[in-house]
């Protein structure tokens, strides 16, 4: 019997180990890569980010509905100021949401967002949004948070979206760790006293 079989087995085991390490590495990179892909392409109803308003405005209007949700662990009240807005396609819109911290300590929240129908994500462009940063509310504090956006006129050049007359912009807020160390200390101190 030759000694090529043990060498072949060792090489196969090394290759399989390398594949396993590669797969574990991919699993850790999958979420950030998927989120980046969605932000770039609008896949899965993820709105795009834009710096400037559209230069083209159509005579046709579209209705945008606003939805608000909170994770049950977050002691906030969160809702849209207006439930819907109708605007010309390509024209900038400005909508507001309100949030109130119902607890007796500072609480930070971060929101996730999407639009439906999902195929519209690549045409819904946010120029500024409270969802881009962490929000920290003091005990009992209420704030009005803006989102500025437009619907890209190219929505009407796409056969898949030409029939869409309404869009829903939905946010869900989750509690997060407060990134400001001083504010976090105040919040943690208040939580231990309760």
Say which residue, 40 or 59, is predicted with more confidence.
Answer: 59
Q: What is the pTM of this model?
A: 0.68
In residues, how long is the chain? 194
**How far from the centroid of its chain's Cα atoms is residue 97's Cα?**
15
Task: State whether the Cα torsion 31-33-35-41 is positive or negative.
Answer: negative
Q: Strand locations in the chain, DSSP E?
A: 48-49, 61-70, 76-80, 84-88, 93-101, 107-116, 124-129, 135-137, 142-151, 166-176
Q: What is the average pLDDT score of the chain?
A: 81
Q: How many CB atoms lie within 10 A of CB 10?
A: 10
Average the pLDDT over each of 7-11, 45-49, 86-90, 144-148 and give the range with the smallest value: 45-49
User: 């209420």: which residue's tokens?
Assistant: 142
- Per-residue pLDDT of 16-51, as tens digits, reads 777 777 766 655 554 454 444 444 444 444 455 556
Percentage of residues of the chain with pLDDT beyond 90: 52
Q: At 183, phi and psi to the nearest 5?
A: -65, -40
Structure tokens at 100: 């109130």
Contact yes or no for 114/93 (Cβ under 8 A)? no
Q: Which pLDDT value is given to residue 15?
A: 78
Would you place residue 194 in the very low, low, confident or very high pLDDT band (cuts 50, 70, 90)? very low
Contact yes or no for 109/135 (Cβ under 8 A)? yes
Would you place residue 14 in the very low, low, confident or very high pLDDT band (cuts 50, 70, 90)? confident
Q: Which pLDDT value is given to residue 19?
A: 74
Residues 79-96 have a mean pLDDT of 96
Cα distances (Å, whole numbers) of residue 94 to 87, 125, 134, 169? 10, 12, 20, 13
Residues 148-169 have a mean pLDDT of 92
Say which residue, 43 or 131, is predicted with more confidence.
Answer: 131
Q: Which residues contact 127 (CB under 8 A, 6 or more apart)?
A: 49, 50, 51, 52, 53, 92, 148, 149, 150
Would you place residue 94 in the very low, low, confident or very high pLDDT band (cuts 50, 70, 90)? very high
Structure tokens at 135: 């929000």
Q: Which pLDDT value is given to residue 182?
A: 58
H or E element at residue 192? helix 181-193
CA nearest neighbour of 144 among 96, 85, 95:
96
């Amino acid at each position: 019997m030759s000694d090529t079989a043990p060498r072949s087995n060792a090489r196969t085991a090394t290759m399989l180990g390398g594949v396993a390490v590669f797969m574990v590495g991919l699993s850790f990179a999958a979420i950030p890569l998927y989120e980046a892909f969605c932000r770039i392409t609008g896949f899965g109803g993820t709105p795009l980010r834009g710096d400037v308003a559209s230069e083209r405005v159509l005579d046709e209007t579209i209705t945008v509905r606003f939805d608000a949700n909170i994770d049950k662990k977050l002691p906030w009240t969160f809702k849209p100021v207006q439930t819907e807005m109708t605007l010309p396609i390509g024209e900038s819109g400005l909508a507001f949401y309100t949030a109130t911290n119902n607890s007796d300590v500072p609480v930070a929240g971060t929101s996730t967002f999407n639009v439906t129908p999902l195929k519209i994500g690549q045409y819904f462009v946010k120029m500024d949004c409270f969802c881009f940063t962490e929000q920290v509310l003091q005990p009992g504090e209420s704030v009005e948070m803006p989102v500025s956006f437009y619907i890209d006129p190219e929505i009407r050049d796409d056969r898949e979206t030409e029939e869409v007359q309404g869009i829903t912009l939905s946010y869900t807020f989750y509690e997060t760790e407060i990134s400001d160390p001083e504010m976090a200390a105040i919040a943690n101190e208040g939580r231990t006293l309760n």
